Structure 1
Amino acid sequence: MAQSTVQEPHLAFDADRAAEAAGQTGATPYERYARLDVLHTLQQPRSEVDAELSFIITTQVMELLFDLLRHDWTLAARALRADDPEGARGALRRAALTQDVLNGSWDLLATLTPTEFSAFRPVLGEASGFQSSAYLRLEFMLGNKSGRLLAMYADAPRVRQELTEALHGATLYDEVLGLLARRGLLAAAPAPAPERYRAQDAVREAWRTVYTEPAHADLFALGEALLDTAERVTRWRQRHYASVKRTMGEKPGTGGSSGLAWLKAAAEQDVFPELWTVRGEL
């Protein structure tokens, strides 16, 4: 994509148009249902670089998909609490399709050349994807918790409160371990903790029993659905790392993050670790 020297009218932020759209109800039932009158006013490039529009739309789509993923993982957790592994598997299957779309969305950002990204990067200021509260909530749901990250939301008390509750609350994997305990495969489920989940020998042994005894066929299927989820999380992190490396190399991340080094470390962390380590014992 070439850099434009004149911002096209339909790409520029028009305050009057946005204000007018905010009060509209939509010209058709479809537009009213999907709130398209608002949706199409949310893309407001701050530079005259053509590639910025692709960057904005892709990141906004990612944020919406984060919300959908949270919805289905919440349903999966609810099913697990109700001793319904089949219901949890159904929610995880739907979520896996969302994860596939999310992972594919990196293809759009991969079209940005280093020159194009550098041309509009200054308008981002301190903004960074690292600050996404929706994505951080997903990481907390997976057990990758860190209380120090809440400092980013000091000026957003509602968001900070929601993340604080997620930090101290049960994760998706906590609900899985609760189910294993109720099935007699664990002496007790670990209590939710405001820290990153660490692999436990007792949990690995529980999964080995699940994978080797036919009586636990429904939990076997649940374990494989969880692996589908975990594998897609790893793909997401790897694609994020590769995309940043391709677009900006080893420059420090916007917003003060360590950029590539932090992403590489994240990509090496396994989600639901015992489901991976037990495979060496089967």
Structure 2
Amino acid sequence: MGHGAAAAPAQPEARGERVVAEEGAQLDFKSDMSYGDYLHLDQVLTAQHPLSPDHNEMLFIVQHQTSELWMKLMLHELRAAVAAIAGDELGSAFKMLARVSRIMEQLVHAWDVLATMTPPEYSAIRPYLSASSGFQSYQYRCIEFTMGNKNAAMLKPHAHRPDLLAQVEQAWRAPSLYDESLRLLARRGIPIPASHLERDWTQPYAESDAVRDAWLVVYRDPNHHWDLYQLGEELTDLEDTFRLWRFRHVTTVQRIIGFKRGTGGTGGVSYLRKMLDTVLFPEVWALRTEL
């Protein structure tokens, strides 16, 4: 360097200082965890691998991947809510169940995005999907089982993955959200038939007039049974949004593929319409006629 040249100012890194924006935001993350690091965005945002040359397949992939992420959170909350009800911690359970209902609202509106895919656009990617189908979602199956829609036949799509089958089987064998709710009512002195307190939890729930009458005790005196009354309404909210999710699924599928069979071999719209008739918490709905 010549005698007349001014020394270049030391860079912030050389002085051991952090680079910050004028607003105080940190800009240098060489030695700290960044937003992308925390969320593992490199893995998440490189997990989309379209198989077809069609532009619209990215929508199809992202729609289903984000739905699976929401379902992961839903299962996290549902399982914790069931445990909270079993432990008489209703305040925590109510918070979790309300969150599950809001997650389902997100999933209802997610169909609006997929509905922008037209039949010709879907037909362009369908041959590349092989037999893959949302019917095979193990998380969705765990949600259904946890909410009480037990069906042993639905274990079979997961038999090729013992690790996933174990998770689905666990949800199938465990008391459902509604089972634990009825056991709670019994612990509070509300008469529930023994047949609904200790049974084979893998079997579908059987509606009972005696259980409806038990819920009527709660709903006819909500001030005395306030937390049980609130539980009944949380269950109602939950099933309400679940029905909307299923209905929006049916209409979106019919809009895109009509009455073609599903890629997983189901009847497509005809199969999904049958699911609309499933009632998870029947007595909570039936009691309304009696009030």
Which of 98, 104, 107 is the aligned partner of 1:93? Answer: 98
What is the TM-score with the length of structure 2 in the denominator? Answer: 0.85
> Which residue number in structure 2 is paired with residue 202 of structure 1?
210
Using the TM superposition, give the Cα deviation of residue 195 of structure 1 relative to its aligned residue in structure 2, in angstroms.
2.3
Using the TM superposition, give the Cα deviation of residue 86 of structure 1 relative to its aligned residue in structure 2, in angstroms.
2.0
Which of 41, 57, 62 is the aligned partner of 1:57? Answer: 62
- Aligned Cα RMSD in Å? 1.6
> Which residue number in structure 2 is paired with residue 250 of structure 1?
259
**Per-residue displacement from partner, 1:64-83 (whole Å, max 9, x unpaired)?**
10110011111111110111
What is the TM-score with the length of structure 1 in the denominator? Answer: 0.88
> Which residue number in structure 2 is paired with residue 10 of structure 1?
none
Q: Closer, same or farther in 2 for the Cα pair 1:134/1:26, shift >3 Å?
A: farther
> Which residue number in structure 2 is paired with residue 19 of structure 1?
none
Using the alignment, how far apart are the partners of 2:78 and 2:182 within structure 1? 15
> Which residue number in structure 1 is paired with residue 126 of structure 2?
121
> Which residue number in structure 2 is paired with residue 259 of structure 1?
268
- 3-state SS, counterpart of residue 78 of structure 1: helix
Using the alignment, how far apart are the partners of 2:254 and 2:107 within structure 1? 18
Structure 1 residue runs of 5 or longer lacking an equivalent are 1-24
> Which residue number in structure 2 is paired with residue 168 of structure 1?
173
> Which residue number in structure 1 is paired with residue 11 of structure 2?
none
Single out whichever of 27-36 and 45-54 deviates more from structure 2.
Answer: 27-36
Using the TM superposition, give the Cα deviation of residue 190 of structure 1 relative to its aligned residue in structure 2, in angstroms.
4.3
Amino acid of the structure 1 residue aligned with 2:262 = G
Using the alignment, how far apart are the partners of 2:126 and 2:31 within structure 1? 34
Amino acid of the structure 2 residue aligned with 1:109 = L
- 3-state SS, counterpart of residue 275 of structure 1: helix
**Per-residue displacement from partner, 1:79-109 (whole Å, max 9, x unpaired)?**
1011122221111111111111111100111
- 3-state SS, counterpart of residue 256 of structure 1: coil
- 3-state SS, counterpart of residue 224 of structure 2: helix
> Which residue number in structure 2 is paired with residue 21 of structure 1?
none
Which of 145, 154, 158 is the aligned partner of 1:153? Answer: 158
> Which residue number in structure 2 is paired with residue 12 of structure 1?
none
Is residue 142 of structure 1 aligned with residue 147 of structure 2? Answer: yes
Using the TM superposition, give the Cα deviation of residue 271 of structure 1 relative to its aligned residue in structure 2, in angstroms.
2.0
Amino acid of the structure 1 residue aligned with 2:273 = K
Percent identity of the aligned residues? 39
> Which residue number in structure 1 is paired with residue 84 of structure 2?
79
Aligned residues: 258
Is residue 212 of structure 1 aligned with residue 220 of structure 2? Answer: yes
> Which residue number in structure 2 is paired with residue 223 of structure 1?
232
Using the TM superposition, give the Cα deviation of residue 168 of structure 1 relative to its aligned residue in structure 2, in angstroms.
1.1
Using the TM superposition, give the Cα deviation of residue 145 of structure 1 relative to its aligned residue in structure 2, in angstroms.
1.0
**Per-residue displacement from partner, 1:203-240 (whole Å, max 9, x unpaired)?**
11111111001311111111111100000110011001
